[in-house]
Amino acid sequence: MSEEISVDTDTDERLKSESAMAGLMKRPELGAIAGVVLVTVFFLFTADSSMFTLAGFMNFMSPAAQLGILAIGAALLMIGGEFDLSLGSMIAFFGLFFGTCIVNFDLPLIMAIPMTMVFAILIGSLNGQIVIRSGLPSFIVTLAFLFIYRGLSLVGLKAATDGSTQLRGIRPAVENDFLTPIFSGDAFPYLFSYLGDMGLIDTFKNGTPKVKGIPVEIIWFVIIAIIATYVLLRTPVGNWIFASGGDANAASNSGVPVRKVKVGLFVLTACCAALVAIITVLDSGSTDARRGFQKEFEAIIAAVIGGCLLTGGYGSAIGAFFGSIIFGMVLIGLSYTQIDQDWYLVFLGGMLLIAVLFNNMIRKRVTGER
Amino acid sequence: MTDKPIVHMEGIEKHFGNVIALAGVSFDVRAGECHCLLGDNGAGKSTFIKTMSGVHKPTKGSIHFEGKPMNFDSPRDSMEAGIATVFQDLAMIPLMSVTRNFFMGREPTKGRGLFKRFDTDTASKAAIEEMRKMGINLRAPDQAVGTLSGGERQTVAIARAVYFGAKVLILDEPTSALGVRQTSNVLATIDRVRKQGVGVVFITHNVRHAMAVGDRFTVLNRGKTLGTALKDEITAEELQDLMAGGQELAQLEGSLGGTV
Ligand SMILES: Nc1ncnc2c1ncn2[C@@H]1O[C@H](COP(=O)(O)OP(=O)(O)O)[C@@H](O)[C@H]1O
Ligand SMILES: [Mg+2]
């Protein structure tokens, strides 16, 4: 939240001139960027060099993007002062809804995708309305929905498949759908095969490029990060989000429509979950009841690594973007090293702890607290 | 001062559960006057002005705005009608910059449609300019409000309300954290906006401040009005006594009689 602006204020003798560095030290996303640098350096030393080829990059960016789409939604919601712990369960629930539309009702994507989004909007507003109207902490309300949506996904899957917890047959149903390439597979295949032909990127012996294109989720991830950052820093709605999370009462007394903002953020988060559900269901050709398991925690951790305060009112979408990339790098990067994969969890917990301590320090810097 | 009140409130009651914060308060404010609301702590002053600024819905009573019955559903509604308020708790967000606080809920925009965006340059310039009028040179418009002193914070809140208070300006104990120079600045500002035709509601504990700018004085006690007096009908000592609980009420009845 900083406006770089040159208004000529009479120079104040009490203001020490602030170096660019000190200004940067106040940015919420600083920690996440530092984290990306640290993790990169770590893997440069420990990992096989193939991690930092184009193929390796796509390898870790793909899970980072799937998490990142959620994390940006979660970050905006956290800045607005609320949590949604049902995020992971919603992925399974929306995956079921989407899969059923396609397999059981034979709907084309042009129908199934908008219907899933409308369903997500309804579920998101349900979460939001209950939190706002009850005045209860969103933590506890959405914890209830974490179980409810997961349970409904299980029950629903069994009903849709006559007793199985996995719904298959999505790939053949959408194979020739014109919308499939927007939500699954790799984008820009022609560009990449052209680049391969030109010898600009690595190819297999038969001449096809090793990287066929950019996985679509990465493109979604980048677009969403850009839009979220723009909205947050450059629009009135962004100001309302910070204000609602900073102090809902003060914001409301100043004319901010706090309820609308908060419900809107719950809806946004649900839509992010629906997008990830659609992408993963199309990608794997099936959906199951374990989809999105614990994604709510990973998304919140990525948001916190990205500079979001648990108390709301402060944070950054671009920070959540980098926080998610850290996740992807650690998750995939370990497989390029000799290190046991199970260190992943230890690493995550450690990152979270460092991030929280760091954010606390930054907040005190911003507010001048001691 | 004109005779037509901008806001006229009649028999306002406000109950919080079984707490009766206001038990029938009538009050009005006219264009170009400063109407002071006085009273001891807990008298119900803040609760009362919150019903005027749309924060609370009165349990009973009527509000007329420019002669028409009015029902403010939210502070946003009352703001749009031209009422701006400095709340006692200031309604500021410490983690946000001065500029963002100043324009919170009423951000100036540039561009159109999808590209309509928060005009931060204009906002920062206006915030600095308004603060300078109040006698404070902001170090930087992107300074977080949390880093300001209590007095500076109060000044931001007052400058913001003055900037947006097109018809009515409500100030709930705005000078409590201010020094001598800043206080006289605020009093001068009240005088200035009053001369521009804005109706000012000024809540204070300080009778000298009230006497310095007030045209009319209403004293609240335990959720009820003890009466409204014009400037030349009452002395500082009498006001002081009224605020202290109305022990001298009998003695004052003469001077208040016509206007109670
Ligand atoms: N939201 C509320 N819930 C319950 N009681 C309240 C609330 N707001 C104010 N009160 C009560 O109403 C009375 C008047 O408070 P207030 O208007 O803040 O007084 P003043 O501003 O004159 O000092 C107090 O007794 C206070 O405890
Ligand atoms: Mg008060």
Domain boundaries, chain A: 74-367
**3-state SS, residue A198:** coil
In a domain, B135, yes or no: no
CB contact under 8 A, B93 and A253: no
- Average model confidence (pLDDT) for chain A? 90
d(CA B220, CA A130): 39
Ligand 1 atom, smallest distance to B50 CA: 17
Contact A132, A263 (CB under 8 A): yes
Other beta carbons less than 10 A from residue A158's beta carbon: 14
Residue closest by Cα to atom 11 of ligand 1: B21
B20 CA distance to ligand 1 middle (Å): 9
Q: What is the pLDDT of residue A22?
A: 62
Residue nearest to atom 18 of ligand 1 (CA): B46
Domain that holds residue B195: 5-93+150-259
In this predicted structure, the answer to whether residue A77 has a pLDDT above a threshold of 80 is yes
CATH code of the domain in which B62 resides: 3.40.50.300
**Average pLDDT, integer, range A125-152:** 96
pLDDT over 70 for what percent of chain B? 93
Q: Flag whether the ipTM exceeds 0.85.
A: yes
The pLDDT tens digits for A238-290 are: 999 999 999 999 999 999 999 999 999 999 999 999 999 999 999 999 999 89
- Could you tell me if B102 and B130 are in contact, meaning their C-beta atoms sit under 8 angstroms apart? yes
The whole-number pLDDT of residue B2 equals 54
Neighbour tally for A162: CB within 10 Å: 6
Query: Band of the pLDDT at A111, cuts 50, 70, 90?
Result: very high
**Phi and psi at residue A29, in whole multiples of 5°?**
-85, 0
Q: What is the pLDDT of residues B179-197, one digit of tens each?
A: 888 899 899 999 999 999 9
- Does residue B224 form part of some domain? yes
pLDDT of residue A164: 87
CA distance B202 to chain A (A): 18
Mean pLDDT of B193-217: 92
**Which residue, judged by its Cα, is nearest atom 2 of ligand 1?**
B16
Looking at residue B258, its pLDDT comes to: 45
Among B37, B47, B90, B219, which residue has the most ligand 1 atoms within 8 Å of its CB, making it the best to mutate?
B47
Question: Is B123 inside a domain boundary?
Answer: no
Q: Report whether pLDDT(B139) > 80.
A: no
Q: How far apart are the first and last CA of chain A?
A: 21
Best substitution site from B46, B49, B53, B226 to test ligand 1's pocket, by max atoms within 8 Å of Cβ?
B46
pLDDT digits (tens, 9 = 90+) for A7-53: 444 445 555 555 566 666 668 888 889 889 999 999 999 999 999 99
Whether B127 is covered by a domain: the verdict is no
CA distance readout (Å), B97 to A132, A197, B92, B138, B153 = 26, 52, 10, 11, 11
Of all helices (H) and strands (E), which one includes residue B221? strand B216-221
Is position B36 within any domain?
yes
User: Is pLDDT at B218 greater than 90 in this prediction?
Assistant: yes
CB atoms within 10 A of CB A7: 16
In chain A, residues 55-114 whose CB comes closer than 8 Å to chain B: none
CB pairs under 8 A between A and B: 126
Three-state DSSP class for A313?
A: coil
For chain B, give the number of residues.
Answer: 260
Work out how many domains chain B is built from and give that number: 1
CA distance A17 to chain B (A): 10
Mode of pairing for the β-strands spanning B199-203 and B117-118: unpaired
Q: Which chain B residue shows the shortest CA-CA distance from A6?
A: B121
Task: Output the pLDDT for position A358.
Answer: 85
Nearest-neighbour CA in chain A from B206: distance (Å): 25
Residue with tokens 């909205």: A231
Tell me what pLDDT residue A207 has: 79
Counting from 1 in the atom list of ligand 1, the atom nearest the Cα of B43 is 22
- The number of CA neighbours under 13 Å toward the Cβ of A209 is 22
The answer to whether the Cβ–Cβ distance between A234 and B118 falls below 8 Å is: yes
Ligand 1: residues within 6 Å at CB?
A: B 16, 19, 21, 39, 41-47
Partners of residue B120 in chain A, C-beta under 8 Å = 3, 5, 234
Q: For residue B64, how many other CB atoms are within 10 A of its CB?
A: 15
Name the pairing type of β-strands B199-203 and B34-39. Answer: parallel
Q: Which residues contact B48 (CB under 8 A, 6 or more apart)?
A: B12, B14, B22, B25, B27, B37, B220
Band the pLDDT of A330: cuts 50, 70, 90. very high
